[in-house]
């Protein structure tokens, strides 16, 4: 009987479930968007039950529509939006508040205060992260302070904190856990000792009783209850979405780089078996832990990637669906001098400015919707080019190519412009669902569905290779102009 791995890919704007066969190919997929909540400027929230219900519905749908029986599912792998912070009642499983999403900026002032107290260096040394509202620690602190009775209940062990992987695992099998990659994004986990750090817990005022157990990225951590799929299925792989995508892109060796073009853009370089120290405001993070070996990554994060295109669709209404943006953008030869800096929720690496705001510069009476669409597409590439520039400065090995994935990687205009700005080839694989693939690969390794990383790497295939064609002098001129636009967007909000 043919067997498959079921990957649960829980993202910022939608949940997906994908079945992978032994060749690492997508056999079937299901996707469901769910509501976003913006109660105040700079606040972004999800209903935790919307996350769970949409993810469960997708998993059931992909099995039903494909005709695959639950007995044919060898294991479940989970990849998830990272840093998003949930708090729920251990006994009832009911959330005590909405989830605070990674994009949320409400705790920027808390980070400012901690920075003024001289805490940033300690946090960076222990966690590899910048002191920023992006990460989970200040979000959890906010929940404990603002949900009535939460701090006292958490200290008594009545409440459970988790990132989205923890929440899904708890709902699936009842265990309160997280894997090392997600733990490393909380700003509470020491990436050197690979443990929750008491000193960091004290800095943020977090009771240890609220924290999940930390497990490796490829091991059977539980079994999904029979009520969900009619049969108990092993949960065997967990990783944050960007670590999962890096693994799915077969970036298993030091110096290999991938960039995911999703809601945000996330460029990661394999840094080896020791944490990398960034001098250019990149993040050092845990990639995965398999069979006792931990691999580390160097990461740059852009907060608004594909979300910028969603804004064109939902905010401006100049396109009906996200896939329309390429045709509109290519209807003009260039952006007509227009630059769009999509700092709608601040700027991530290498700027880390929570007070930057979205800015459009260079408009004239001749500016059209097409020019703005083109500027939006190019903005994704500009931001990613800044990441590779910082990464090249930090790394002790040259970058030969960048492997691209995510929904926007299907946009040829974006991929070619990206290669031109980077000055290195951008390679798009045949399977661009690499976040889900990475989760599937981790789960498959744990249950023997695949035997080794080499077997997984051999299945990775090229769809198209975009070679840089723009003269370097021109790309450098464009980047200089881009930096001027970024400076105009900085420190706008107070």
Q: Residue 359 CB: number of other CB atoms within 10 A? A: 18
For 293, the 3-state DSSP assignment is strand
**CA-to-CA separations, 82 to 79, 117, 264, 358, in angstroms, rounded:** 9, 27, 11, 23
- DSSP 8-state code for residue 108: H
CA 7/CA 16 separation, integer angstroms = 8
Establish whether 306 is an annotated binding residue. yes
CA 211/CA 193 separation, integer angstroms = 17
Establish whether 134 is an annotated binding residue. yes
Q: Residue 128 CB: number of other CB atoms within 10 A? A: 28
Establish whether 82 is an annotated binding residue. yes
- Residue labelled with tokens 């043919």: 2
Establish whether 9 is an annotated binding residue. no
Establish whether 53 is an annotated binding residue. no
Establish whether 83 is an annotated binding residue. yes
Establish whether 125 is an annotated binding residue. no
- Return the bridge partners of 222, or none: 235
Establish whether 407 is an annotated binding residue. yes
Q: Is 91 exposed, middle or buried (0-12, 13-18, 19+ CB in 10 A)?
A: exposed
Q: What is the CA radius of gyration of the chain?
A: 21
Q: How far apart are the first and last CA of the chain?
A: 61
Establish whether 263 is an annotated binding residue. yes
Q: For residue 315, what are the contacts with CB-CB under 8 A and spacing of at least 6?
A: none
Q: For residue 344, what are the contacts with CB-CB under 8 A and spacing of at least 6?
A: 303, 304, 307, 308, 311, 357, 358
CA 226/CA 387 separation, integer angstroms = 44
Please give the biggest Cα pair distance in the chain. Answer: 64
Query: Kindly report the CA angle at 275 between 166 and 204, in degrees rounded to 5?
Result: 50
CA 419/CA 403 separation, integer angstroms = 11
Residue 252 has φ and ψ, to the nearest 5°, of -95, 0
Query: Kindly report the CA angle at 328 between 327 and 332, in degrees rounded to 5?
Result: 105
CA atoms 403, 83, 32, 166: torsion sign = positive
For 286, the 3-state DSSP assignment is strand
- Residue labelled with tokens 């960039």: 259
- DSSP 8-state code for residue 315: I
Contact at 8 Å (CB) between 77 and 236?
yes
Tokens representing 33 are: 């968007």
Give the distance from CA 428 to its chain's centroid. 18
Establish whether 25 is an annotated binding residue. no
Q: Give the residue numbers of the binding site.
A: 12-14, 16, 82-83, 134, 241-242, 263, 306, 310, 407, 411
Q: Give the residue numbers of the binding site for ATP.
A: 12-14, 263, 306, 310, 407
Q: Give the residue numbers of the binding site for glycerol.
A: 82-83, 134, 241-242
Q: Give the residue numbers of the binding site for ADP.
A: 12, 16, 263, 306, 407, 411
Q: Give the residue numbers of the binding site for sn-glycerol 3-phosphate.
A: 12, 82-83, 134, 241
């Amino acid at each position: 009987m043919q067997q498959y791995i079921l990957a649960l890919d829980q993202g910022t704007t939608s949940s997906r479930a994908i079945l992978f066969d032994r060749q690492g190919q997508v056999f079937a997929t299901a996707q469901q968007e769910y509501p976003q909540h913006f109660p105040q400027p700079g606040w972004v929230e999800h209903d935790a039950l919307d996350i769970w219900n949409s993810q469960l519905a997708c998993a059931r749908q992909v099995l039903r529509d494909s005709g695959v029986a639950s007995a044919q599912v060898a294991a479940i792998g989970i990849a998830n939006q990272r840093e998003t912070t949930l708090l729920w009642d251990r006994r009832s499983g009911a959330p005590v508040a909405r989830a605070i999403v990674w994009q949320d900026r409400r705790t920027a002032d808390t980070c400012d205060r901690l920075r003024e107290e001289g805490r940033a260096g300690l946090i960076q040394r222990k966690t590899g992260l910048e002191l920023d509202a992006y990460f989970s620690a200040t979000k959890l602190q906010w929940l404990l302070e603002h949900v009535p009775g939460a701090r006292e209940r958490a200290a008594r062990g009545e409440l459970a904190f988790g990132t989205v992987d923890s929440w899904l695992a708890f709902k699936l099998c009842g265990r309160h856990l997280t894997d090392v990659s997600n733990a490393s994004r909380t700003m509470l986990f020491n990436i050197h000792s690979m443990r929750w750090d008491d000193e960091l817990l004290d800095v943020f005022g977090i009771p240890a009783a609220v924290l999940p157990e930390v497990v490796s990225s490829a091991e059977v951590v539980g079994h999904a209850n029979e009520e969900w799929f009619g049969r108990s299925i092993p949960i065997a792989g967990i990783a944050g979405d960007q670590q999962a995508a890096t693994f799915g892109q077969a970036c298993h060796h030091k110096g290999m780089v991938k960039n995911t073009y999703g809601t945000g853009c996330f460029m990661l370089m394999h840094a080896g078996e020791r944490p990398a120290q960034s001098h250019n405001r990149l993040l050092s993070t845990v990639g995965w832990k398999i069979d006792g070996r931990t691999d580390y990554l160097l990461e740059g994060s852009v907060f608004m990637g594909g979300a910028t295109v969603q804004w064109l669709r939902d905010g401006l209404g100049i396109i009906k669906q996200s896939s329309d943006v390429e045709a509109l953008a290519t209807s003009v030869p260039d952006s007509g001098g227009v630059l769009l800096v999509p700092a709608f929720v601040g700027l991530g690496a290498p700027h880390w400015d929570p007070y930057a705001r979205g800015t459009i510069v260079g408009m004239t009476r001749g500016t059209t919707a097409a020019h703005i669409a083109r500027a939006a597409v190019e903005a994704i590439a500009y931001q990613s080019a800044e990441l590779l520039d910082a990464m090249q400065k930090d790394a002790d090995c040259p970058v030969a190519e960048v492997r691209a994935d995510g929904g926007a990687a299907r946009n040829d205009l974006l991929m070619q412009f990206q290669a031109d700005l980077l000055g290195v080839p951008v390679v798009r694989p045949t399977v661009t669902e690499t976040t889900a693939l990475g989760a599937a690969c981790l789960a498959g390794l744990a249950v023997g569905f695949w035997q080794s990383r080499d077997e997984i790497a051999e299945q990775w295939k090229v769809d198209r290779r975009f070679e840089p064609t723009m003269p370097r002098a021109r790309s450098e001129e464009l980047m200089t102009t881009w930096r001027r636009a970024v400076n105009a967007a900085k420190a706008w909000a107070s």
